[in-house]
Each structure stands twice: as C-alpha cells, then as structure tokens.
Structure 1
Amino acid sequence: MMRTASIRLELSAAQADALARLRASYADACNRLVPIVREYRLWNRVGLHQRTYTMLREATPLGSQMCCNAIFSVCKAYKAQKELGRIRKDAPVPGIRFDRASVHFDKRTYSLKGETVSLYTLDGRIEVPMRLGEHQRRILESGKPKEAELVFRKGKWFLNLVVESGDVEPVASGPVMGVDVGENNLAATSTGKVFGGEHLRDRRDRYLALRRRLQSNGSQSARQKLRQVSGKEARHVKHINHETSKAIVQAAIQAGVAKITMEDLTHIWERIKAGKRMRGRLHRWAWRQLQTFVEYKAKVAGIAVEYVSPAYTSQTCSCCGGLGKRSKHRFECPHCGLRAHSDCNASRNLARIGEIAVSPRAAVNTPDVGSVDMGNHVCASQ
C-alpha cells in the first residue's frame, strides 16, 4: 500500500535558491521533450530515453539521473492525458507546459538522514531539515520510503514523499456498512449518520456564478482571477471530502465493521436524463473523490470496500423489500409502513447487498414486491 506524506522543508536562503535553479532547469528539460513527444507520438519511457537522453545531457545542466527523471515526468504526464481521453489517434498530440512543474526524485537523487533529507542540486547535495508533524511521522514509520516530488507552493517548499507499507491485517469478521453518496447530502451510512451537503452546494453555486461573470468579462485580470477561484474551490471541496471520509471510516471502526459497501456510479453521466442545469450540477458533484478517500482510509484500517450496482437501492424498502415512494429526503413504504430518511434507507439496502454479494460489481435484481425476505433485518422508522 502506498501513502504520501507532504513534508515542509526548512531551507536557508542559499538552499532555497539552489532548489529554485534546479526546478527551473528541470522544467526547461521537460519542455524540451514536449516537441519530440508530439512529433513522434512517443511517451514510452524507454523509447523517449533512447531518443532524447544525449540531447538533454548536452543542452541542460542536469545530471544523468535527473535527466532520466525529467523523461519519467514527461511520460507520466502524457500517459495521464491519454487516460483522460485527451489524446486521440486522429488529432495532433496536445502540448503541455512544465513551467511550474514539480521535480521528481528517486532513491539515487535523495536520501533520508533522521529528520533531514539530502537532495540533489546543480551545485551538489544539500541537507535540509524536515518539519515533521505527528501525521508525517506516522506515515514515515509505517513503511519504506520510495519516490518523491519536490513542490513549490505559496512561497514554501514541500517534499511529497511516497511510503510503501505492508497491507494492514483485514478485519476478520463484522457487520457490513452501506454508504450512499449524493449531492444534497454528501453521504449517509446504514448506521443512521447523514452528512449534509447544503453548505458545500451553496459555496459551489456561488463559485459558479463568479466564474460565469469572470468568463463573460474576458480580460487578462479576469482570467487570472478565474484560475485562482477554480483552485480555491477545488481545494475546499477536497478538504470537505477528506473530513467526511474520515468521519465515515471512524464510524465504521467504532462499529466493528468488516466491509463498506458503496454504489458503483461509473458512467452515471450517460445514464441520467436531465436538463442543462441539473447536468451542470451533477458534473460538479465530486462523488468519486469522496469514494476514493473512503476507500483508501478504510484500507488503512483493514476494512474491505466493495462497489455494487445502485439499481433500485433508492426505491426499495430496506425493511420488507417492496417498492416504496421517495420524495426528496423522505421514503415511505406502502406495504410495511416504514418511514425513513431516503438516503439512510438506500444505505441500508447497500449494506444488505454487501452481505450477500459474492464479488465486486455485483448485480442487483429488480425487487419482487411482497416476495423478498429480509431475514433478521429490523425496520427502524425515523
């Protein structure tokens, strides 16, 4: 299992200048590789190394291993673009600028010495003290340091260090907890906990209105402000998702949960038929990020995570299995009389499916009203 510790570096003025010059040279080397990648459609690391290594050594002040790292960074960036579908066979390869790129370090270009790190620079190695908090220390002690990225952010230098640790012993047995994610409510668990999303949705609507005003302005200062606003919004959403996922996993640990079941929402955009306004809201819904955060935090705690089909989980009664009526946050079953929060009802259905599912991505059958036996599940009206 891989975890990343973001460690702030305590640099002197001379050390900061050395890292700034290294970063500039590294970005220059990456930018020199882009035209070759575009011309030959080549982002294979071995192939690009054979074609460009000598050129980089002659044209840049970087050492041999740092040239290899620059090739790695460019290949990684273009592979990510390909995975996102931004590189098409019938279109030219898009260009990428590395002016603010991070510097990739491997075991040959950095080493840890207690609470200091030795880093490669153009003028030789420098030893830099690290500012370690409890979280960073816990990650560093959990396994073996691997690769790292040197990042310059808001006037400060950070080393994002990847640590490989062994898998945590999985929880042997315990109940299953369902987690239903949504837009109005960020998440609801089968234990009855609901994480409201009204504040986040209001903030995102405000950001949307501001972006529209800036886009209609079109000036250079408006475009600069637009980049700032977009970055601020993304960081705020990420912070909220981290807090929510942490609370969900903590609740699972306290309940002795062995498995968390969530909806497989892959290709949800293609399945939803809605107007332009609703599609815009759903496009800004960061459900996948929240699920990813829950998944890796649960893995650290030894809790398994399983994704199942969301079919009928919002319409099925978690008590009797019949089809009920959902109106916004309220679910009512005309068969057994259950009244519950609609998201909590859906999360209980996910927990039930997780108990009987034999494999990830398990299919959900359409419920047969009046014939589904829910076993020992308790109907708790809310």
Structure 2
Amino acid sequence: MTELTKTLELKLVDPNAHKREKLRETRAAYQQALQEAFDANCSTLGEANDIVGDYHLSGYAKNALKRYVPQLTTTYGANELSDDHPVRFTNEGVKIDHKPENTIKWYVKIPHHEDYHLWVPAQPNPEQRDWLEAVIAGDADVGEGRLLKRKDTWYFHLIATRDIPLNSEVPAEERTPIGVDIGEASLVTVCHRDEHGSPTNPELWTDEGKTVRRLRKRYFTTMRRLQSRESERIADTFGDELWAQIDDILHTVTREVVEYAESVEAPVLVLEDLTYIQESMDYGDYMNRRLHGWGFAKLHAQITYKAVERGIPVATVDPRNTSQECHACGEGGTRPQQATFKCSNDACWIEEYQADINAALNIADRYLSGESRSREHENGDDSAEDGASLTGPQDSQADAETQQATLGMYAS
C-alpha cells in the first residue's frame, strides 16, 4: 500500500442569486483579509489572527488564513500576491454529501459566516467518482477545501488522501527502472534497459513539446499586446482558453507515460527529484522563467499520481549531470545541439547519441545504483499537480501554486 493525496474538483451547479451573492461576499472578504495580513508581513498565527479576526468570514476560512499567510511570508518569501487566490477552508469546515436518489447527486457545504453555511449542488469530475465515494464512506481522509471562480463558474476543490494498493510486491532491486526525462525539446522522454542491459523502446513526446512551446509563445506575445491596450477581460479569457489546451496536452502525455510503464514487467518510474532542481535553478531571470513556465513540476506531479493510482511505484533521483554524462561510459560530454549528446571519451563506442534518451537512461541507472528514494507526496498535495500554476494562471491544486501564484507568473 502507498498513500496518495489528490485534489478533487467539483463544479458548483447553478447557485441561485442569493447563494451567488453569498459566495461573492465570502470571496471578497477573504481576498481583503489575505491582502491586509500579507501587507502586514504576518509571520505567526497570532499576528495573522489580530488582522483576520474582524473580517466577515467563517472560522474555517479564518483558521486557514492564519496558517497560510505565515507560510507565504516566511517559508516562501513571497514579495507580492497575485490578483486572485482561492478561498481556503480548514478540513473541519469541509463536507460533501451524496444523494443518489436526486437528479443532482452531489452537494458541497460552503462555510459563509460563523454558523451560516451554504449547501450547493455540484457536479464532480467523472474520473474522480471513486475518490468521492471513498470520502463519503470514510475510506479517505479529507484535507483543506478551496473555493474558486473561473470566468462565471464556481468550483470547489477538496484535498483527499487515501491508501492505494500496489499491483505487486516485487522487491525494489528486482524492478525495471524506467527513466523519465522532462525537457523542452521533447516534452517527456522515457526509456529503460532490457535484461541484457541494452537501451530499449525509447519513446519521445517531441511533437507535443513543439506544440506547447508554440502555445506558450503565443500566450506571452498576445497577453503583452492585450495588456498594453488595457484589455484585461479579453486577456484573461484568452489566457484561460490557451492554458486549457496546454493542460489537455499534459494530461494526455502523462497518461501515455503511465501506459508505457504498464507495458513493462515489474516497472518503477524514476523521475528527477524536484528538491534538487529547485535548489540549483539559478540560471538568470530569463532561463529561470522558461524552466518554471514550462510546467516541469506539473508534469512531474501528474506522472506521479497517475502512476500510483495504477499501482506503479515511483522513485526520484538526484538530477545533477544526468544530461551531461554518457550513459555508456559515465564520462562527461557536450550538447552541440539541443537534441544531441556528444561523448568526450574517445574510447567509448558512443560518439553522438539522442540527448533526451541519454538523460532518461542516466536517470534509470541512478535507481539501479541505489541513489533513489520513494516518492509518496510528502508535500501533502498532488500536485499539481500542483505544479499546477507553474504552467499558467490556474487554480491552486498544490504547494507549487503557493510559490508561483504569490510570486507572480515569472517567479524563479
């Protein structure tokens, strides 16, 4: 068994005028309280409580704020807030109800103020029905709730954690490591070695990488033009539609990565450890912006939770020099072109090799060398998925959102 944490999304179904007004009031009060506490640089629960205590909010929202603001100011060192944040509620205020006899079967309790709550019908993501049923049955632990609005539609996100059984009890040393290289030329590259140690069945998502680069370039170019004309509403709509296209690509690719793993006997997916990448990511503002905006963390998180849901273990390794070492001899090399690795060892049988496959093999080999460790969402969220906001101005599905949304689109 392994523990998996996931963000469940429910779309609120046509709240009446009264409930829409109460949702707007809650959202507005929360944003004001968050901004005031953040501007006051609150670094403790007590300091935040002195500010948010007077706002017209439920205790669940206030308690979430009192914990959240010190994280922004101390843990993440944020220096500004983005324009919009979801309204957060502690898990005590979160409740989902299921009425299978009704036309609309799911309902969400939204805390408004003190003892006043709104019950709103909701439509869940069909792919997450089993998770919601686990919540109702008490087989999943409920975490923080988040209320957000996209365009004219309200959504409620629920953090849930449950135990997922692994498909097999094969020892770690007997598993087949599949190296996963996340890059820019090829969005994702996977490869593993056969029983003889030879590289086999590499797969590259190069066309998807090209499409995402094109969409991102279009996004930033068009957004600059629209914002210069002060067409904020059009800019927001355009951005939402474009990032939805990118999201679809990321979900498709990560699903196919997991399907690749399912075709291998006793697989383990091996990814680069985000901790090391964040620590070493200091390449100047331009490159930092590109790497963060690429959605590395979101791809990483989606592969991880989709694999765990299928019972496939995931491990991470130190990513240092995986793209600069030869997978055949271990010597250093160069990349004369983005997709080409050139080994510097004249005695090595490899002269030039596909760079992303070379990196994926190095990642897999580090698992075999014993450098890996299990990856079980120790950050308390999926992630998004977090890395969610690392790819665009979306909602807050993970801690990556905390870093990105608070620092702005070009955070590094």
Assess if the C-alpha contact under 8 Å between 1:259 and 1:303 holds in 2.
Answer: yes
Matched, 1:150 2:160: no
Alignment partners' CA distance in 2, 1:212 and 1:39: 27
Alignment partners' CA distance in 2, 1:331 and 1:97: 43
CA, structure 1 residues 170+43, in 2 after alignment: closer, same or farther (shift >3 Å)? farther
Letter in 2 for 1:188: T
Which residues of 2 match residues 113-262 of structure 1 at below 5 A? 113-114=98-99, 115-117=105-107, 119-120=109-110, 127-132=119-124, 134-142=126-134, 143-144=139-140, 146=142, 147-169=144-166, 171-173=168-170, 174-191=175-192, 192-196=202-206, 197-214=209-226, 218-221=228-231, 223-262=232-271
Offset of residue 230 of structure 1: 4.3
Letter in 2 for 1:177: I
Q: State the TM-score, normalizing by the size of structure 2.
A: 0.68
Which range moves more in the overlay, 195-204 or 111-120?
Answer: 111-120
Letter in 2 for 1:288: A
Larger Rg: 1
Assess if the C-alpha contact under 8 Å between 1:179 and 1:261 holds in 2.
Answer: yes
Question: 1:108-130, CA deviations, whole angstroms, 9 ceiling, x for partnerless residues?
Answer: 46341333325356796665443
Alignment partners' CA distance in 2, 1:166 and 1:104: 23
Which range moves more in the overlay, 116-125 or 191-200?
Answer: 116-125
Which range moves more in the overlay, 191-200 or 160-169?
Answer: 160-169
More strand by share: 2
CA, structure 1 residues 297+17, in 2 after alignment: closer, same or farther (shift >3 Å)? same
CA, structure 1 residues 84+236, in 2 after alignment: closer, same or farther (shift >3 Å)? farther
Offset of residue 354 of structure 1: 1.0
Question: 1:332-352, CA deviations, whole angstroms, 9 ceiling, x for partnerless residues?
Answer: 555343454221122112111
CA, structure 1 residues 214+74, in 2 after alignment: closer, same or farther (shift >3 Å)? farther
Offset of residue 252 of structure 1: 1.4
Partner SS for 2:163: coil
Assess if the C-alpha contact under 8 Å between 1:144 and 1:164 holds in 2.
Answer: yes
Q: What residue number does 1:341 align with?
A: 354
Question: 1:237-256, CA deviations, whole angstroms, 9 ceiling, x for partnerless residues?
Answer: 33322222222122112213
Letter in 1 for 2:8: A
Assess if the C-alpha contact under 8 Å between 1:330 and 1:340 holds in 2.
Answer: yes
Q: RCO higher in 1 or 2 (8 Å CA, sep ≥ 6)? A: 2
Matched, 1:351 2:364: yes
**2:77 aligned to which of 57, 81, 85:** 85
Assess if the C-alpha contact under 8 Å between 2:64 and 2:90 holds in 1.
Answer: no
Structure 2: where are the runs of 5+ without partners? 100-104, 193-201, 375-412
Number of equivalences? 337
Partner SS for 1:185: coil
Q: What residue number does 2:405 align with?
A: none
Q: What residue number does 1:6 align with?
A: 9
Offset of residue 86 of structure 1: 1.8
Letter in 2 for 1:317: C
Q: What residue number does 2:340 align with?
A: 330
CA, structure 1 residues 144+178, in 2 after alignment: closer, same or farther (shift >3 Å)? same
Alignment partners' CA distance in 2, 1:315 and 1:212: 36
Structure 1: where are the runs of 5+ without partners? 88-93, 362-382
Offset of residue 201 of structure 1: 1.2
CA, structure 1 residues 320+96, in 2 after alignment: closer, same or farther (shift >3 Å)? closer
Offset of residue 194 of structure 1: 0.5
CA, structure 1 residues 280+156, in 2 after alignment: closer, same or farther (shift >3 Å)? closer
Assess if the C-alpha contact under 8 Å between 2:268 and 2:313 holds in 1.
Answer: yes
- Output the aligned Cα RMSD: 3.6
Letter in 2 for 1:137: R
